[in-house]
Chains A and B, each alone.
Chain A
């Protein structure tokens, strides 16, 4: 830029130094993905076309790919069913208590998938404490019904329903009420208006949401791991996990091929969604002040009861079952007032070194990721907003990639990149730092977007006023931009924290003894039969997450529009 070159007067060093931040950002966020791609085209000694063919023609690979597509596809269908029903009812009708309903629908997405799986397993199956309490448990020895493809599909569908819900609701809000009023004036009844006007107009949003749910379900590791591995039903992420854990780093080239495969499917899903969104724009004109609202009339109360009953079933029931299991002294003992005990909670939170370590690790990782990302994203977002260049625009387009790609893909990419740091003999593999690096890459966009949106809403005159009274760039960033962007940075940091503290997919492949995360420990405890302690730990994490979400919700009016994902 000529303008920058001309800036000679005064000390403009910060203005020249700031763009340098783009380099580490690009390296951390995009380096691993790039490294994996290079592996795909044959860099390094590991991969030859021989690997490619052996992996791809192997029976297991094809089965796992098929399983991935089936479970993700089935899960997406269920997500569409739940998410679309809720979106139409919440966005278009006059039901009451929408805020609370939306909050409850969002909770399953924020709860880590392995906890969802664990909780549901406490609802069904012969050893369910809750069912035993009620005398409804199936006889001992009967199979756990969720250890099946159907179980995986069901839980994937519930877990990602809110993705469909959020996208569709945003789309529905863009439909001007006068379009519907016009259809009414032409004599269309409620159902006809809905089918012939609202539904076609909301189709692009619905498809985009479905694509997102599909891609996320495809990358989900927690649910197929908890439910599929006992049933010997592998999806691509669990296959990668099992091979890497079973055979060690020697199978890296092979799992790299697998992760490229799943990455390709995911990217195809993302691109399909984007194509639909960009092509499906009907060019809706005018955001009319009155939101679209159908009156449900006498059907309102039954509909409300049905929605809350559904919430109770997908949220309250599993969490109650989880709570019940966490309160028994040993697995198999029925729960009653006499037997109820906090022993497992006490064990998990204060006694067991491995769970305490996991808490410390996860909290450290989540806090560190949130703080580092906040420190990087504030100047970065400012740079992108106020000094746009071809490089910042490119970065803006690619920064979604590490978050959109399935977690296993990023994990493999990080292992490839950081096992031996380029140009050195140092290795991060087996340390907590490789997990931190992966988190930084993965959650970059979670932090960046809220800050970007708040800076975009900030009047540039605020900064110009500070410049005109003599404040240099550093001072302006500190005294004006930082305080004004702080609420959304805080919201972004809480989101990063929430997502990171739950995280399993990335850490499952990157952990080693001493660097376990909460997600890994729950998984391992359940795997080794310590269900009660796993439940206690899971329940404590769920409480933490809901409390944090509630805190964000209470502070919602301080955040700029579009900062909190479940509010729009």
Chain B
């Protein structure tokens, strides 16, 4: 296993920058998810790492060795990086066992050792019974596991996963997530996982890089992304809730208070000049006597609790409630434990639209 780093990595297609000066360091054995809407550059970053594309600028380094920069380019087959494709890319003319043993055949691993390692990889992915099947005879989840076994069998220095669960149904996704988690715990492989599903990213990864329009907007642990988003895009894209304008109350001592939705509330923050606040559903408490009033416009049962949509001070908020609420009813809202941040260019509306899309 090896650490992976990007430095000023840029990729232009016909003058359009699909990836714009991306820099990031991924530790050895770390599980990192690349999260973002389609077209944000996450797959381009993955393909640059694998070596299927050459960078326009910047460099990719694996284990201290430059894989690609302005003067040097190591071919994909020489990088020892495994990849699991969204389409799985199983070779339809080879059986499961031959698919998995191909990386070892390429490396001229002697037959007895090869058989042992293939058997081990198949056992690890729960495929031992399917060794002699052809890919066409497998279900989606089984194909996914063959792709995984084929990737892990040669013990790559890093593993790339390109939307590996996108083609599976919901139930299978949950169980495959479990497979990935267990797999990462056992192998401690450096893993880069591309997804547009924030649930997957937050559930699986040690750290998540949120990408938008060719840039990494924030690269942090899932709980930090959720609790302390760096800007409007991340706040709107990751997790539920609202992003609203905010400003610091004068004067600004150590414990910062902000004015938001016409109320003055304490906040957690990393700046002295906040422009926006992220209001998660759990930050809102319903109380009859609170001065901030909200009108209920939607009520959805989530199992165990209700998710309310509220209009308050011209903003749309979401909150949780234990009881069903009547549409049109007005309730009092109190805000707690908000996070505010500085994002002068933040386009709240756009971020919200993307989060809902």
B75 at the interface (CB under 8 A from A): yes
Please determine whether B81 and A468 come into contact, CB atoms closer than 8 angstroms. yes
The one of B54, B78, B83, B151 that contacts A464, using a Cβ cutoff of 8 Å: B83
A475 to B80, CA, bound (A): 16
Smallest distance from the beta carbon of B147 to chain A beta carbons, Å?
A: 8
Q: Is the pair A7, B73 in contact by a Cβ cutoff of 8 Å? A: yes
CB of A9 closer than 8 Å to a CB of B = yes
Q: What separation, in Å, do the CA atoms of A432 and B90 have in the docked complex?
A: 45
| B164 interface residue per 8 A CB criterion | no
Q: Would A462 and B91 count as touching, CB distance under 8 A?
A: yes
> B106 interface residue, CB < 8 Å from A?
yes
Contact B102 A469, beta carbon cutoff 8 Å: yes
Check B91 against A468 for contact (C-beta < 8 Å). Answer: no
> Which of chain A's residues has its CB closest to B65's CB?
A9
> Is B74 in contact with A470, judged by CB distance below 8 angstroms?
no
How far, in whole Å, are A459 and B86 apart by their CA atoms in the complex?
Answer: 11
Asked if B50 and A6 make an inter-chain contact with CB atoms under 8 angstroms apart, the answer reads no
Assess the A9–B83 pair: CB atoms within 8 A. Answer: no
Point out the residues of chain B lying under 8 angstroms from A467, CB to CB. 51-52, 75-77
Q: Is B72 an interface residue (CB 8 A)?
A: yes
Contacts of A7 in B (CB 8 A): 73, 75
Whether A459 contacts B87 by the Cβ 8 Å rule is yes
Task: Name the contact of A470 in the complex, choosing from B50, B71, B92, B154 (C-beta under 8 A).
Answer: B154
Q: Does A306 contact B (CB under 8 A)?
A: no
B52 surroundings in chain A (CB, below 8 A) = 464, 467
Distance of A164 Cα from B97 Cα, bound (Å): 48
Q: Is the CB of A470 within 8 A of B80?
A: yes
Is B91's CB under 8 angstroms from A480's CB? yes
Write the chain A residue with the least CB distance to B75.
Answer: A10
Query: Considering the complex, which residues of chain A in the window 468-492 have a beta carbon less than 8 Å from any beta carbon of chain B?
Result: 468-472, 475, 479-480, 483-484
Closest to A471 in B: B106
**Contacts A3-B54, A10-B78 given; does A465 touch B106 at CB 8 Å:** no
Known: A464-B52, A469-B150, A469-B151. A459 touches B80 (CB 8 A): no
Given contacts A461-B89, A483-B93, contact A468 B77 (CB under 8 A): yes
B82 within 8 A of A: yes
What is the CB-to-nearest-CB distance from B108 to chain A, in angstroms, rounded to a whole number? 10
Of all chain B residues, which has the CB nearest A467? B76
Q: Judge if A62 is at the interface, Cβ distance under 8 Å.
A: no
CA distance A459 to B85 in the complex (A): 11
A96 at the interface (CB under 8 A from B): no
Q: Cβ of A465 and Cβ of B85 under 8 Å apart?
A: yes
Per a CB cutoff under 8 Å, which of A9, A465, A475, A479 touches B72? A9
Task: List residues of chain A with CB within 8 A of the CB of B80.
Answer: 470
In the assembled complex, B103 has its CB within 8 A of some CB on chain A: yes
- Quick check: A469 and B82 within 8 Å, CB to CB? yes
Q: In the complex, which residues of chain A have a beta carbon less than 8 angstroms from the beta carbon of B91?
A: 462, 465-466, 479-480, 484
Say how far A323's CB is from chain B's closest CB, in angstroms: 43
Chain B 127-175 residues near chain A, CB threshold 8 A: 147, 150-151, 154, 160
- Contact status B72-A472, CB under 8 Å: no
Asked if A469 and B103 make an inter-chain contact with CB atoms under 8 angstroms apart, the answer reads: yes
Question: Given contacts A9-B74, A9-B75, are A462 and B106 in contact (CB under 8 A)?
Answer: no
Q: Does A23 sit within 8 A of B, measured CB to CB?
A: no
Given A464-B50, A464-B85: A470 in contact with B107 (beta carbons within 8 A):
yes
A346 interface residue per 8 A CB criterion: no
Is residue A284 within 8 Å, beta carbon to beta carbon, of the partner chain? no
Interface string of A314-356 (1 = CB under 8 A from B): 0000000000000000000000000000000000000000000
Q: Which of B73, B85, B106, B151 contacts A461 (CB 8 A)?
A: B85
Tell me, in angstroms, the Cα distance from A483 to B92 when the chains sit together.
10
Taken together as a complex, chains A and B put the C-alpha atoms of A9 and B65 apart, in Å, by: 12
Q: How far is the CA of A469 from the CA of B147 in the complex (A)?
A: 11
Whether the Cβ atoms of A465 and B89 lie closer than 8 Å is yes
> Given the complex, which residues of B lie within 8 Å of A299, measured CB to CB?
none
How far, in angstroms, from A2 to B147 measured CA to CA in the complex? 32
Q: A468 CA to B85 CA in the complex, in Å?
A: 11
- With both beta carbons as reference points, the residue of chain A lying nearest to B79 in the complex is identified as A468
Contact of A6 with B54 in the complex, beta carbons under 8 Å? yes
Chain A residues with CB under 8 A of B87: 459, 461
Bound-state Cα–Cα, A520 to B289, Å: 105
CA distance A417 to B150 in the complex (A): 52
User: Are A8 and B89 CB-contacts (below 8 A) given A468-B82, A471-B102?
Assistant: no
Nearest neighbor of B80 in chain A, beta-carbon distance: A470
- Residue from A464, A469, A472 with most neighbouring chain B CB atoms (10 Å): A469
- Beta-carbon contact of B54 and A468 below 8 Å: no
| A164 to B39 CA separation, bound complex (whole angstroms) | 45
CA distance A9 to B80 in the complex (A): 13
Q: State whether the Cβ of A300 lies closer than 8 Å to any Cβ in chain B.
A: no
A12, CB-defined interface residue at 8 Å: yes
B83 touching A475, Cβ below 8 Å: no
Considering the chains assembled together, what is the distance between the CA atoms of A462 and B91 in angstroms?
6
Contacts of A9 in B (CB 8 A): 72-75, 78
- The proximity string for A residues 1-36 relative to B, scoring 1 for CB distances below 8 Å and 0 otherwise, is 011001111101000000000000000000000000
Known A466-B77, A470-B106; further 8 A-B contacts with Cβ < 8 A? A8-B72, A10-B75, A464-B50, A465-B83, A468-B82, A469-B77, A469-B106, A479-B102
What are 19 A-B residue pairs whose CB atoms fall within 8 Å in the complex?
A: A6-B73, A8-B72, A9-B72, A9-B75, A10-B75, A10-B77, A461-B86, A462-B91, A464-B89, A465-B147, A466-B102, A467-B52, A467-B77, A468-B76, A468-B77, A469-B102, A470-B78, A470-B107, A471-B77
In the A-B complex, the 8 residue pairs with the closest CB atoms = A9-B74, A469-B103, A461-B89, A10-B78, A465-B89, A467-B76, A6-B73, A468-B83
